[in-house]
Amino acid sequence: MKTKNLCCFIFIFFVSFLSYARADGLSKDIFISNAWVQAMPSSQKISAAYMVITNNSPKEAILVSASSDIAATAEIHQMSEMNGMMNMAMAANVHVPAQGKVTLQPGGFHIMLINLKKPLNKGDIIPITLHFQDGSNITVNADVRGQ
Partner 1 sequence: MFVANKIIFLIVLLGVCFSWVGCESQEKTSTGMDLGVINPQRDFTLHDQDGKIFHLKDHRGEVILLFFGYTSCPDVCPTTLSKLARVYSLLGMGTRQKLLTLFVTIDPQRDTPQKLKEYLQYFNINAVGLSGTKQEIDKVVDAYKAMYEKVDTNSSALGYMFDHTDYLYLIDKEGKTSYLFHPEDKAQDMAQIIKGL
For binding to partner 1 (CB under 8 A), which residues are involved? 38, 40-44, 46-48, 72-73, 75, 77, 79, 82-90, 106-107, 110, 112, 114-115, 146-147
C-alpha span between 32 and 63 (Å, rounded): 12
**Contact between residue 125 and residue 143 where contact means Cβ atoms under 8 Å apart:** yes
CB of 64: closest distance to partner 1 in angstroms?
15
Other C-beta atoms within 10 Å of 146: how many? 14
Number of C-beta neighbours around residue 61 at 10 A: 28
DSSP annotation of 118 reads S
Instruction: Give the residue with the Cβ less far from partner 1, 68 or 110.
Output: 110
Q: For partner 1, which is the closer residue by CB, 44 or 103? A: 44
Min dist. Cβ of residue 51 to partner 1 (A)? 14
Least distance in angstroms from the C-beta of 101 to partner 1: 20
CA–CA separation, 106 and 121 (whole Å):
19
Tell me the closest approach of the beta carbon of residue 48 to partner 1, in angstroms.
Answer: 5
User: Between residues 5 and 83, which has the closer beta carbon with respect to partner 1?
Assistant: 83
- Which residue, 1 or 85, has its beta carbon nearer to partner 1? 85
* φ, ψ of residue 27 in degrees (nearest 5): -100, 45
Q: Nearest-CA neighbor of 132 among 48, 49, 66?
A: 66
